Amino acid sequence: MTNLTISVDEDIVRRARIRALEQGTSVNAVLREMLAAYAGAKSEQAAAAADLVAMSVASKSRRGGKTWTRDDLHERR
């Protein structure tokens, strides 16, 4: 595990320690969880974008399948 040094206002750290204590955790644990979620967000977004592109490529409408009229898309009849 890597150590990380950051600069944070003393009042914010004091309030964070109090809140962490109330929640039965530590500021270190809270920051570790937040950083893990932050780091994972990019890979989740990239995976979702890749899935969307794959669905688009596999779509029948891209291969000359079903086409829709404006009325079909807006359910106008």
Q: What is the pLDDT of residue 27?
A: 96
CA distances from 14 to 4, 9, 10, 58 (A): 19, 9, 6, 54
Backbone angles phi, psi at 71, to 5 degrees: -65, -40
Confidence at residue 46, expressed as pLDDT on a 0 to 100 scale: 84
Model pLDDT for residues 11-62, shown as the tens digit of each residue = 999 999 999 999 999 999 999 999 988 888 777 788 888 888 888 877 766 6
Between helix 10-22 and helix 27-58 the angle, nearest 10°, is: 90
Domain ranges, ordered by start, for the chain: 10-56
